[in-house]
Amino acid sequence: MDNRLYIFDTTLRDGEQVPGCQLNTVEKIEVAKALEELGVDVIEAGFPVSSPGDFNSVVEISKAVTWPTICALTRAVENDIKVAAEALQYAKRKRIHTGIGTSDSHIKYKFNSNREEIIERAVAAVSYAKRFVEDVQFYAEDAGRTDNEYLARVVEAVIKAGATVVNIPDTTGYCLPEEFGAKIKYLVENVKGIDKITIATHCHNDLGMATANTISGVINGARQAEVTINGIGERAGNTSLEEVVMALKSHHELGVNTNINTRHIYPTSRLVSNLMNMPVQPNKAIVGRNAFAHSSGIHQDGVLKNRESYEIIDPKDVGIDENSIVLTARSGRAALKHRLHVLGIDLDKEHLDKTYEAFLKFADRKKEINDDDILMLAGRHHASSRRIKLDFLQVTSGIGVHSVASIGLDIAGEKFEACASGNGPVDAALSAIKNIIRRQMIVKEFLIQAINRGSNDVGKVHMTVEHEGMEYHGFSANTDIVGASAEAFIDAINKFAK
């Protein structure tokens, strides 16, 4: 059996479905290019029929990317497939990913159908997709809970219809590693023609088993792993790319390789986390802030004597260059440019100048500037192009007194000011904003997180605001957390107050 595992990245499709993680087309192209540099084999760029934005992103990513195959998702519906083929017209290598639910629960409740009819619909979808592209991937949704014998019949039928890749998703993250591996083995041993196609795993992490299930699938014959950067994805997420790649790299005895340039893992992780406003949990394997931090004296001593005492991966292998992570007020523009480049961001001169200006101001307030700070600063120019901007904010608050805020907003160049009181500084600041933007707005979710440590740290604020029955997500980061809260509120407002 081929010892090469194909990496199929679905950060821009399954990952991007997470509420609050939506990217615009320019940002998606940036991620797609980073994925190309990382060395992924397939980029799932979107679900074109779902929205004009998704359609356009697939078109633009197809134009921007050269080597990876560009894949577009569809249901087993003719119009979905036709639209996906249209969106893929500029891709140098293209694939349509079509499929249908195969578990009894999906057949009965989702499709009000029966097993035979589902096979017919699966075959019809693959045959129709073959009219447009040679490379057709079929997914058997909820394969994790599909009876193996029936699954084998579905897989055999779609292979006969021309599927080149068959995806076995554990859609609900239900399987145990042994069970998932046995499922792949059963297909390898019982499906006619399976040696001519590639079997793919697509595991979700609801029980924290996504990586284990994927590796178990690979051990049993799967040769494509569907993954996302940082494991982002609906609910508990998808299998994370970095975990699968580094698990295979660390376990040579499995004899399976990928094309991933592992030194790009960390910069890509930071880029995705920053663009999607999705913090990486500190203890996340491979890319978390603490993944290579040894705090106990015994561990520090052991690592200093010999790194391998407590580390199975050299941080440099995943692109973490410990010596150059911190910048200070004395760092020059070239150092900032270099660090941004390492983090996967190449700014033009104008944006670099603006970012450097912001960097110097920030460095006056915070002695050591780390990667998260830099990414936050580089994102600043997005905020400056918004219609509604925060001009100033002054808040008086304390224990036993009423908080009062006065605020200035710049709305398309016009200045507005208002005051308000509240039961705390954030409440006062948001009420003052509401006194200017007189619309119905409810804060549904409000999350403040420190990026690093220390009382001089930057606070990241995520806010979900409901307006006319729709939810909008706002984000900001600032050493002043009341300011960050006001900016996050304004960021969300900008998304509906056009």
Task: State the residues that interact with ligand KIV by CB under 6 A.
Answer: 14, 139, 141, 167, 169, 171, 202, 204
Task: For ligand KIV, give the closer residue by CB, 45 or 420.
Answer: 45
| φ, ψ at 69 (rounded to 5°) | -70, 140
Closest contact distance (angstroms) between CB of 102 and Zn ion is 14
Q: With binding defined as CB under 5 A, does residue 54 bind Zn ion?
A: no
Nearest approach in angstroms of CB 175 to ligand KIV is: 12
Stretch that binds Zn ion, among 10-18, 45-53, 96-104, 173-181 (CB under 5 A): 10-18
Kindly state the smallest distance separating residue 317's Cβ from ligand KIV, in Å. Answer: 30
Minimum distance from residue 397 beta carbon to ligand KIV (Å)? 46
Per DSSP bridges, beta strands 94-101 and 403-411 are unpaired
**Closer Cβ to Zn ion, 198 or 262, answer by number:** 198
Which listed range, 14-22, 128-136, 184-192, 215-223, lies at the site for Zn ion (CB under 5 A)?
Answer: 14-22
Residue 139 site contact among Zn ion, ligand KIV, none (CB < 5 to 8 Å, cut-off depends on kind): ligand KIV
Question: Residue 33 or 75: which CB sits closer to ligand KIV?
Answer: 75
State the nearest-atom distance from the C-beta of 115 to Zn ion, in Å.
22
Q: Find which of Zn ion, ligand KIV, none residue 339 binds, CB within 5 to 8 Å per kind.
A: none
Nearest distance, CB of residue 259 and ligand KIV, angstroms: 22
- The dihedrals phi and psi of 124, each to the nearest 5 degrees, come to -60, -40
- In the bound complex, what is the minimum distance in angstroms from residue 7's beta carbon to ligand KIV? 15
CB nearer ligand KIV, residue 30 or residue 141? 141
SS3 419: strand
CA 332 to centroid of chain Cα atoms: 31
- Residues 9 and 435: their CA atoms lie apart, in Å, by 45
For residue 128, the partner it binds in ligand KIV, Zn ion, none, with Cβ less than 5 to 8 A by kind, is none
Is residue 14 at the binding interface for Zn ion, with CB under 5 A as the rule?
yes
Alpha carbons 189 and 281: distance in angstroms, whole number: 40
In the complex, minimum distance from the CB of residue 451 to ligand KIV, in angstroms, rounded to a whole number: 31
Can you tell me the distance from the alpha carbon of 96 to that of 125, in angstroms, rounded to the nearest whole number?
10
Q: What is the Cα–Cα distance from 200 to 208, expressed in whole angstroms?
A: 19
Residue facing Zn ion at closest CB distance: 14
Continuous H helices in 317-369: 333-342, 349-365
Alpha-carbon distance of 245 to 227, in angstroms, equals: 10
Q: Which does 141 bind (CB under 5 to 8 A by kind): Zn ion, ligand KIV, none?
A: ligand KIV
Residue 491 interacts, among ligand KIV, Zn ion, none and using kind-specific CB cut-offs from 5 to 8 Å, with none
- Alpha carbons 175 and 186: distance in angstroms, whole number: 15
Beta strands, E only, 102-143: 136-141
Query: Are β-strands 388-396 and 459-467 bridged in parallel, bridged antiparallel, or unpaired?
Result: unpaired
Longest Cα pair distance anywhere in the chain, in angstroms?
A: 76
Give whichever of 169 and 474 is closer to ligand KIV, judged by the CB atom: 169
Minimum distance from CB of 327 to ligand KIV (Å)? 39
- The whole-angstrom separation of Cα 246 and Cα 346 is 27
Of the two residues 14 and 27, which places its CB atom closer to Zn ion in the complex?
A: 14
| 202 vs 289 by CB, closer to ligand KIV | 202
Please, which residue, 46 or 169, has the CB nearer to ligand KIV? 169
In order of 402, 424, 425, 429, the CA distances from 399 in angstroms are 8, 9, 11, 17
Give the tokens for residue 15. Answer: 């990952």
Q: Decide which of ligand KIV, Zn ion, none touches 262; Cβ closer than 5 to 8 Å per partner kind.
A: none
Say how many CA atoms lie within 13 Å of 114 toward its Cβ: 1
Q: CA 169 → CA 41, 179, 214, 239, 429, distances in Å?
A: 18, 13, 10, 11, 46
CB of 40 to ligand KIV, least distance (A): 16
Do residues 135 and 163 lie in contact, with contact meaning Cβ atoms separated by under 8 Å?
no
Structure tokens at 302: 């052991």
Sequence-ordered strand ranges (E) for 388-441: 388-396, 403-411, 414-422
From the list 13-21, 242-250, 273-281, 445-453, the region that binds Zn ion by CB under 5 A is 13-21
Separation between Cα atoms, residue 423 and residue 319, nearest integer Å: 46
Strand partners, 445: 464
Q: Which stretch binds Zn ion (CB under 5 A): 12-20, 264-272, 411-419, 447-455?
A: 12-20
Report the partner that residue 270 touches, choosing among Zn ion, ligand KIV, none (CB closer than 5 to 8 A by kind).
none
At 50 the three-state DSSP class reads helix
- If binding means CB under 5 A, how many residues of this protein chain bind Zn ion? 1
Pick the closer one to Zn ion by CB: 99 or 474: 99
Q: Name the residue nearer to ligand KIV (CB basis): 167 or 220.
A: 167
Least separation in angstroms between CB 95 and ligand KIV? 13
Q: What residues from 452 to 491 belong to the interface with Zn ion (CB under 5 A)?
A: none
Q: CB nearer to ligand KIV: give 145 or 339.
A: 145
CB under 8 Å to 375, separation ≥6 — which residues? 270, 271, 273, 274, 343, 345
Residues that bind Zn ion (CB under 5 A): 14
